[in-house]
Structure formats: C-alpha cells, structure tokens
A and B are shown apart, each in its own frame.
Chain A
C-alpha cells in the first residue's frame, strides 16, 4: 500500500497556503481510498498464487494475515481522516452560511429601518399639509359677525394661523375697513333720526338678543305688515314727495332683518356656537346700544300707527310718525 503523505511546514504564514495544503491532502487521501480497492484485489490474487505454488504455506498465511490487518487499519485511518475533513468542511460552510444570513438579516433590518423612516417622513409631510386651518378661520369670519366680536375672534383663533402680531393687526385693520364700508349707510341714517322716547330705553344688549329670539308670531306680523304697507302707501308717497324715500323703507327693513336676524341666522347655521357669538355680541354691542335700541321701539310705534291707520284711516298720524322716523 502506497500512502503518500506530504510534509506540512510548521510555519505557514498565510491562511490561503494552509487551506491549499489541507485541500491537497484531502484530495490525495481520497485518491488513496480509491486506489485501496484495486490494491486489495491485487494483493488477494498475489497471496492466492503464492499459497498454491509456494511450499511454505504457513509463511504465506502469516504474511497474508499481517497484510490484511495493516490494510484494514490503513483503510480505517483513511476513512477517519476523510470523514473528519468532510465534516470540517461542512461545518465551515455552515458557519459561513450562518454568518452570511446574519449579514443579510442586518442589511434587511437596515432597509426596513430606512423604509420606516421614509414612511414616517411621508406621513409627517402629509400631516403637515393637512393641518392648515388658515382658510377655515377666514371662512368663518364674515364681515358682519366680526364687527362686534373682532377682539373675541382673536382670542378664539389665536393659535390657528394668525399667530404673528403683524398678521393679526393687518387682518383686524382689513376687517375694520370692510366693516366701516358696510356700516356707513346705516350710521348716516341713524344720525338723522330724531331721539324719540322709547319704552325700552333702559334695555341693554341683552334685550337685543331677546329680540333675536322673539317668537315667530311677532316675526310673521312684522314680515306681513310691510307687504301691506307699500300697497296702501303708494298713493301717499306720490302725494308727499318731500319725505325721503330712502330713509323710510330702508331703515326699518335694514334694522329689522339685519340686527335681529344675524343672530338667528347664526344660530341656524352654527348650532354649536350660538352662546359664544351671543356673548361676543354682548360685550361689543354696549357701544352701539342706544343706536340699536331705537330701531325696535320706533318700528313698533310705526306698526301701531299702521294698525291704527287701517282702523281709522287717518294718514296724518302715520305721516307724523314717518316724519319723526
């Protein structure tokens, strides 16, 4: 049996050289295992011939026994070394695969982290895009409502969009300018009124809010009476052109629907915030209380005059009230 064993150098610096030598030894041991079968067959034939031909058969038998023992031991050694190397190589490959799995898992975790970060940033951007209440506040603040409650709206929507003082002052000035433009005709008309004594002169803006919540019967009466009035008064207007037409029909009509109705309209549109708007008006309407209180008293007197005119058909009394109005 020819067993080729290469001398392993004691000091091998490089790992590649060691692995190359180990792989070379492994291939050589595999080749020895392959050649072992043919060697055993050839040895068996040789001992058979020598046993039949040679006279010293006992020596041949003893030699055969020794050869069989050595061949078996050599085969076990070869198989042991080969199996050990195969196991070593397999374990090494399994370790490499496990290390590669760990690296791949690390890369996957990094990618997942990046994906989560990208998703989080996208959600943050979208949420920032959604939370823009600027248009909401400017939509809620009409000119008529902010007339008396502009200061309240500031405190109410302070944290929405007009956070800066400059922006808030600009917005408040713009609202005041629009309010002045819309309020100039009514104020000029109210200046021309004569101070007639009203039975509700001591009433405060709370009374005004009460008129806003008047029962529907009175509102229907008030809405019905002007329809009757122009038909009856069309002739009298032609007879009396000196009285200003703009002041008579506009002021009662403007005072009636505008002053009580916005609160009622506001209550119809925004049922969730009627109290706040009413309280806002209570503080803001103190300045204009006298101007506002004169309208329902005079309109009531005008209504009484119209009713008395219908009964007695005396136009003089009506015209005196109209002139006074």
Chain B
C-alpha cells in the first residue's frame, strides 16, 4: 500500500511538473509574441515618423513655392501693361 501511495504521489508530482512546464511554455510563447508586437509597434512608429517628416518637408517646400507663385501672379496681375503689348 505504501509503495502504491508513493507511486501515485510521484505520478502526481510528475503531472504537476509537466503542467507547470506547459504553462511556462505557454507564457513564454505569449511573451515572445507580445515582444514581437512591441517591436512592430516601435518599427511602425519610426517608419510613420519618417514618412510624416518627409511629408511635412514637402508640404513646407510646396507652401513656399505656392507663396512665391502667389506673389509673382499678384505682381503680374497688378501690372496689366505687361499683357497689353
């Protein structure tokens, strides 16, 4: 009887250890995927920031060119003698 009780305890401990390892493996998988998700978010942030910066630069350049064009057109329209010749 004592041997049978000892064997069952050992089996239970082994099952518990296996379950613990399974749980640890599951947690490691979850943490690994969360890290990958975090890395993706960081990379996405960097890419989006660079794209937004280039877009902002283009918009600034475009705004200056548009202001210059506006001034030139305003000057030309203010001096209609250029178009009457």
Decide: A111 near B62, CB < 8 A? Known: A68-B30, A90-B48, A97-B55: no
A100 touches B62 (CB 8 A): yes
A79 touches B41 (CB 8 A): yes
Q: B12 at the A/B interface (Cβ < 8 Å)?
A: no
B40 touches A79 (CB 8 A): yes
Shortest distance between the CB of B19 and any CB in chain A (Å): 8
A76 touches B58 (CB 8 A): no
Closest to B73 in A: A111
Interface size bucket, A side? 20 to 34
A65 touches B26 (CB 8 A): yes
Shortest distance between the CB of B80 and any CB in chain A (Å): 13
Pick the residue among B33, B51, B69, B76 that contacts A107 (CB under 8 A).
B69
| B11 contacts across to A, CB distance below 8 A | none
B59 touches A97 (CB 8 A): yes
Closest to A111 in B: B72
Shortest distance between the CB of A169 and any CB in chain B (Å): 36
Q: A237 at the A/B interface (Cβ < 8 Å)?
A: no
Closest to B44 in A: A83
Q: B10 at the A/B interface (Cβ < 8 Å)?
A: no
Closest to B43 in A: A83
* Dominant secondary structure of chain A at its interface with chain B: helix
B44 touches A104 (CB 8 A): no
Shortest distance between the CB of A63 and any CB in chain B (Å): 13
| B44 contacts across to A, CB distance below 8 A | 79, 83, 86
Shortest distance between the CB of B22 and any CB in chain A (Å): 10
A121 touches B55 (CB 8 A): no
Per-residue A-contact encoding for B38-53, CB less than 8 Å = 1, 0 else: 0011001000100110
| A86 contacts across to B, CB distance below 8 A | 44, 48
| B61 contacts across to A, CB distance below 8 A | 101
Q: A93 at the A/B interface (Cβ < 8 Å)?
A: yes
A68 to B54, CA, bound (A): 38
A68 to B26, CA, bound (A): 10
Q: A247 at the A/B interface (Cβ < 8 Å)?
A: no
A61 to B66, CA, bound (A): 63
Q: B77 at the A/B interface (Cβ < 8 Å)?
A: no
Q: A108 at the A/B interface (Cβ < 8 Å)?
A: yes
B37 touches A104 (CB 8 A): no
In A76-124, the 8 Å CB interface with B consists of 76, 79, 83, 86-87, 90, 93-94, 97-98, 100-101, 104, 107-108, 111, 114, 118, 121
Closest to B33 in A: A72
Q: B4 at the A/B interface (Cβ < 8 Å)?
A: no
B58 touches A97 (CB 8 A): yes
A85 to B28, CA, bound (A): 31
User: Can you name 15 A-B residue pairings with CB atoms under 8 Å?
Assistant: A65-B26, A72-B34, A72-B37, A79-B40, A79-B41, A79-B44, A86-B48, A90-B55, A93-B55, A94-B58, A97-B62, A101-B62, A104-B65, A111-B69, A111-B72
